[in-house]
A and B are shown apart, each in its own frame.
Chain A
């Protein structure tokens, strides 16, 4: 599975959009981009995933560049409850693949 690179930490003011970048320059054509987050002392939570098209759900939007070498997770109106570590993970689709968690981005939402 392709390796990902994320900034270690980011801050965001409550109510503003949080844009979390992820680089995955070695991604293969059949690999998806998944985003999970982990709030302190809880299990990770699935957010969104995509292959090449932009995706949106009730939690977030995922923007994948045309060359698929990077992506951005957007939380449109961040709240204090969005404070968490966000993980960008690339893995092959079509199977129940194991997840390899990197260090992620620690997002701190402030008043």
Chain B
């Protein structure tokens, strides 16, 4: 159990276009989902916290108008990178929280590798 999927797994887009990444909890409902970004040889950096039915909370330094997050249901959150530029090229990872094991574990998706040309 506790499977999180992401789509697409890889995407290449041209500079100036927008890209949408989906994050789904497949076998559980997640009231809270998180979006992370990871650059090569670096650790994961939290971008935003997404709660179902409410506005996302963004970390300091993350542009909310550039990284649009929608959490429309208990199993789906989307991240849209608007007007993407080469510096947005990164590994984007989502996670969803559940209490399956008695605590608030986060289960992560497999990640989406975005390349902006």
Contact = CB atoms under 8 A, between A and B. Distances in A.
B18 to A, nearest CB: 23
Contacts of B107: 46
A106 to B, nearest CB: 11
Contacts of A36: 108
Interface string B86-113: 0000010101010001011111111101
B97 A43 contact: no
A43 B43 contact: no
Contacts of A42: 110-111
B111 A32 contact: no
Say whether chain B's binding surface is mostly helix, strand, loop, or mixed.
strand
A41 B91 contact: yes
B44 interface: yes
23 contacts: A36-B108, A41-B91, A41-B113, A42-B111, A43-B111, A44-B44, A44-B95, A44-B108, A46-B105, A46-B107, A46-B108, A49-B101, A49-B103, A93-B103, A93-B104, A96-B31, A96-B32, A97-B104, A100-B46, A101-B36, A101-B44, A101-B45, A103-B43
Interface of B: 2, 4, 6, 31-32, 34, 36, 43-46, 49, 91, 93, 95, 97, 101, 103-111, 113
The 9 closest A-B pairs by CB, nearest first: A43-B108, A96-B97, A96-B32, A101-B43, A101-B44, A44-B108, A43-B111, A96-B104, A43-B93
